[in-house]
Structures are given as C-alpha cells and as structure tokens.
Amino acid sequence: MSSFDGLFSLVESALDQPTAHWLREHVEVPPALQRFNWSEQSLHRVWLAQALNLCLFHTLVNAVPDGRRYVEEQARQGRKVVFDHGAIRTVDWPINGQLPRGRQAFARLLEPLGFTDVRNYPLTKLNMTGWGYRQMDLPEDIAQFFVSELHPGRFSEAFQHAVSRVVGSSLDPLQPEHLSLLNRLSLTRHCSLSEARTLLPALHRAFGRQHGVVHTTDYQCLLNESAEMAWIATEGNSFNHLTDRVQDLNACVARQRELQRPMKDSIEVSASGRVMQTAYRACTVTRELIDAQGQCREHQVPGSFVEFIQRKVDPDNGRIDLNFDSSNAQGIFKMTDSKA
C-alpha cells in the first residue's frame, strides 16, 4: 500500500469509503508528505494532520451546498481544490463546561499535530482575537487553522450571563485515552496506525457544537451585541469556513459572479498587498432554539461558507505570504452576520 493509499484508508476509517474516494478526487494532497514516515508502527504527525484536515474539509462542504458545487465544478475543469486554511471560533470564558477556555481547547490537539500559533491578530471591532496556527513540518502545504477567541468580558453583564448559560453545558469530546495519545505524539512526533485510527474520529468530533440547545432569549441577547457569539451559540466550534487557494482571485471572482453565486461584494486586501480574500455568503441552516414555553422551535440562522484566497510571494524571503490580516479577517467574518 502506498503512503497516499494509507492516508485515504485512515480517512475512510473515520468517515467511509465513498467519502474518502470523493476527497481523493477533489482535494490536492501535497506530494511533500511522502518525505515523512508512513508505516503501521511509526506514522509521522503530518499524516494525521492531513487526515484531520481532509475530514474537516468534507464536513464543511457537506454542510454548504454552494461549497460542494464549487469543489465539484473545479474537478470537472481538471483542478483539485488547494486547501489553504479553515477557521473556528472559540469563547475565552472560564465557564466553559468540560472544555478548556478559548483556543486552549484546540491548542491541546493542534500542537501535537505540529501546529504552532505563529502570530495573533487583534479583531478589535468584533471584541475578538485571532490566532494563526501553522503546521511547522510543511507550512506551505498543510492547511492552516485560524482560531479566534471571543472575549465576553468586553460585553455587557447580561451578555456574559447568557454566554455562561450557553457554553456552560459543553462536553469534552476528548477522553483521557485521546489526551494520553496526544501527549505522547507531542513528545515523539509519531504514533502507530492503530493509535491514529483511535485519535482521528475524536479529533474530528472536537470541531462541532459541544453545548446543548440554546434558549431563544439567550440567542437574541447574544445577537444584539455580537453576531459572532450568536453564531457560536448555534454552531459551536464547527468549521466556520474553509478556503481554496487560487492563482488569480480576480478571475475566480469574475467567474463566480458570472455563475450568479452568492459572493461577497468586495475583495479584502491585506496591508502588505500580498494576501487577497473574498468569500461566498454563509449558507442558511435550520437550528432548534428553546422558546419561552420550553418547546424546541426551528429557526433559520447563518451557517458556514467557502472562502477564496490568493497569496503572493513575499520578496523578503521568496516564499508565499502565509500570514493573515486583521482587517481582512473582520471583513470576512461579516459573512455570518445575520444582521448584515
């Protein structure tokens, strides 16, 4: 079995065979992965990092019909999507159920996979902070994570109480067995294939909503002050968006508008001029909220979306600019604002 066959067999063990096959046909897998160990006894962390990213990629496109259609259109044109980064939102709050507060719930699993928080990004308008987690073995090849923290302490007391009620019921998808494997992985950078098969489904589950159904009054209280926290209330730590790295963003946008896709009005350009981003508007999903009578009622709320990015070469080092940009990020976050 080749190492790439092994990678998709690992993905299959967490998802299923048709899904693993679909991912193989639609997502670019970096050839540089083959520089690292793949054996049943000694699997380098890059393989587990890539397997997790593929699982998360599929979860998002499965939830965003426009995203799946885009990815399949690219394949019909002979191109696989280049997964640049995914984004999740967390809450920097001590009352977080069984979960560590904020980004620490994800640092504990990303760092053993070789990701490092290389830089933070103030998202001042949103009362949030973003953190760029980059896989240090293959930084240009393995998709990054943009992990943001919302800071409830900057909002009203009523808002803070609502946050406590919402995320205070969070359960931890990682059991002691998983944490022990992650601890050893962080020390050795390797695990067995059997251990990877144990870890991967749990890591995949971590990117979801870990708290219970939210009361309508709490949701409205959060929405009044922060569309981002309202999104977390219904979607939790799910992938907020995934991003295709394209060669010519203007051409990509022109084509998507020609197809009458739900595009953002403008392209965000970083202060350096080297990172350009835009996105589809978030899809609409149906979620239950608990009404004043204690009954679950269905509501239409913003879900996730697909983003497009072009990264130019940094002349200082001759490599593509892997950084994010605070202004860009705040513009992209508006895609899930139901008030916008």
Instruction: Work out the percent of the chain whose per-residue pLDDT is above 70.
Output: 99
Residue 1 has pLDDT above 80, yes or no: no
DSSP 329: H
- pLDDT digit string (tens) for 296-313? 999 999 999 999 999 999
Average of per-residue pLDDT across 163-169: 98
Backbone angles phi, psi at 188, to 5 degrees: -110, -20
Average of per-residue pLDDT across 46-53: 98
Please state, in angstroms and rounded to a whole number, the distance separating the CA atoms of residues 24 and 10: 12
- pLDDT digit string (tens) for 66-92? 999 999 999 999 999 999 999 999 999
Residue 340 has pLDDT above 70, yes or no: no
Please state, in angstroms and rounded to a whole number, the distance separating the CA atoms of residues 216 and 103: 26
Residue 19 — pLDDT band, cuts 50, 70, 90? very high
Q: What is the pLDDT of residue 338?
A: 67
Q: Helix or strand or coil: residue 247? A: coil
Backbone angles phi, psi at 303, to 5 degrees: -105, -135
Residue 282 has pLDDT above 80, yes or no: yes
List, in sequence order, every residue forming a beta bridge with 26; answer none if it has no partner: none
Residue 339 has pLDDT above 80, yes or no: no
Q: Helix or strand or coil: residue 155? A: coil
Please state, in angstroms and rounded to a whole number, the distance separating the CA atoms of residues 117 and 146: 9
Contact in structure between 85 and 143 (CB atoms under 8 Å): yes
Q: What is the pLDDT of residue 294?
A: 94
Average of per-residue pLDDT across 120-136: 96
Q: What is the pLDDT of residue 333?
A: 82
Q: Helix or strand or coil: residue 34? A: helix
Instruction: Work out the percent of the chain whose per-residue pLDDT is above 90.
Output: 94
Backbone angles phi, psi at 262, to 5 degrees: -75, 70
Please state, in angstroms and rounded to a whole number, the distance separating the CA atoms of residues 111 and 92: 19
Residue 329 — pLDDT band, cuts 50, 70, 90? confident
Average of per-residue pLDDT across 189-202: 97
Q: What is the pLDDT of residue 332?
A: 83
Please state, in angstroms and rounded to a whole number, the distance separating the CA atoms of residues 6 and 192: 12
List, in sequence order, every residue forming a beta bridge with 120; answer none if it has no partner: 131
Please state, in angstroms and rounded to a whole number, the distance separating the CA atoms of residues 29 and 80: 9
Residue 198 — pLDDT band, cuts 50, 70, 90? very high
Average of per-residue pLDDT across 248-255: 96
How much is the mean pLDDT over the chain?
Answer: 95
Query: pTM of this prediction?
Result: 0.96
Find where tokens 């080297």 sit. Answer: 274
Average of per-residue pLDDT across 51-56: 98
Average of per-residue pLDDT across 58-62: 95
Average of per-residue pLDDT across 204-227: 98
Please state, in angstroms and rounded to a whole number, the distance separating the CA atoms of residues 151 and 229: 10
Q: Which one, of 60, 69, 70, 71, lies nearest residue 24 by Cα?
A: 71
